[in-house]
Amino acid sequence: MSGGRGASKGTASPLALMWNRFAGSAGGLLGITLVGLLLAAAVSAPWIAPYPPLQMDRGAIYAPPGGKHLLGADELGRDILSRILFGARIVILVCFSATAVASVLGIGLGLIAAYCGGRVDALAMRFADVLLAFPAFLVAIALVAFLGANLVNIILVIALTRLPRFARLIRSSALGVKQMEFVHASRSLGAGHLRIIARHILPNCLGPIVVYATLTLGDSILTISGLSFLGLGIQPPTADWGVMLTRGKEYLLTAPWIAFSPGMAIFFTVMGFNLMGDSFRDALDPRAG
């Protein structure tokens, strides 16, 4: 019986082994729980929010947590819990869209640079170096100020500031993979360039990308919150955590709950993505037991 169990474990797929390592991590489970709560809040906000996010109740201005307003009300009498739930939808839209755009463009640029080499590689990496020469948040501030603070521009700006790191990461992995024997064998059998890249190089480079993409989701939340805090992100009266934090800072002494609730929402969401990223990194490590 023991030999059967050992054989079963030995024949488990790499994906199953990765999941077992991830599920055995307390940090990974906590992270996926926090992210799951965020997704559930975003999807169900129209049904579980006690009030519309823009509804004002003049009798509840600065209302403390409790009673009709579980997390309190803001300076206009708007329910904070409702605004946090609807704000989660903005967070999901911006961070996932920006990360998707950055990863697709960065992966494409990095794969082309690694596979072609020579001047193509040098040109692509110099482009990445220029973007990396400046702090990402300062670049985001400058571009949003120039292009305008609307949702599409914010997503594109965040994606542009993350693109070079995706490109460098996939390039470094692809440079090693393209020298392996199975790639040379596929080329000798007449496989085209796109087939070699898509079927042999890319699948063997996705591990680090998955980890970095997960971490980028949390980083994107901090960026959009920071832009909104400076007045360059999502514009009022839209329910956004950064906007709520900006308004709440003016009432820290008289009504601290206005800033506390969105601040904690940002904290736990970013922590959830970071815990997931760290756990994915450990689970993908072939040296892990």
Is the CB of residue 209 less than 8 Å from the CB of residue 172?
no
Residue 19: the pLDDT is 65
Is the CB of residue 208 less than 8 Å from the CB of residue 173?
yes
Q: Per-residue pLDDT for 9 more than 70?
A: no
Is the CB of residue 255 less than 8 Å from the CB of residue 72?
yes
Residue 25: the pLDDT is 73
Domain residue spans of the chain: 14-284
Q: Per-residue pLDDT for 278 more than 50?
A: yes
Signed CA dihedral, 19, 21, 27, 30: sign only: positive
**Residue 115 vs residue 6, higher pLDDT:** 115
Least confident of 94-98, 196-200, 251-255: 196-200
Amino acid letter, 133 = A
Least confident of 11-20, 93-102, 159-168, 256-265: 11-20
Q: Which residues have C-beta within 8 Å of that of residue 7, sequence separation ≥ 6? A: none
Predicted structure pTM score? 0.83
State the Cα–Cα distance between residues 60 and 56, nearest whole angstrom: 8
Q: What is the mean pLDDT of residues 177-203?
A: 76
State the Cα–Cα distance between residues 148 and 237, nearest whole angstrom: 17
| Superfamily of the domain at 14-284 | MetI-like (1.10.3720.10)
For residue 8, name the pLDDT band (cuts at 50, 70, 90). very low
Q: Report the mean per-residue pLDDT for the chain.
A: 83
Percent of the chain at pLDDT above 90?
18
For residue 137, name the pLDDT band (cuts at 50, 70, 90). confident
Residue 285: the pLDDT is 62
Q: Per-residue pLDDT for 179 more than 80?
A: no
Q: What is the mean pLDDT of residues 176-203?
A: 77
**Residue 235 vs residue 289, higher pLDDT:** 235
For residue 96, name the pLDDT band (cuts at 50, 70, 90). very high
Residue 286: the pLDDT is 53
Residue 78: the pLDDT is 92
> Exposed, middle or buried by CB within 10 Å (0-12, 13-18, 19+), for 122?
exposed
State the Cα–Cα distance between residues 156 and 220, nearest whole angstrom: 11
Residue 267: the pLDDT is 92
For residue 118, name the pLDDT band (cuts at 50, 70, 90). confident
Q: Per-residue pLDDT for 12 more than 60?
A: no
> Exposed, middle or buried by CB within 10 Å (0-12, 13-18, 19+), for 155?
buried
Whether the upstream peptide bond of residue 236 has omega within 30° of 0, thus cis, is no
State the Cα–Cα distance between residues 57 and 63, nearest whole angstrom: 10
Residue 85: the pLDDT is 93
Residue 7: the pLDDT is 43
The count of other CB atoms within 10 Å of the CB of residue 253 is: 6
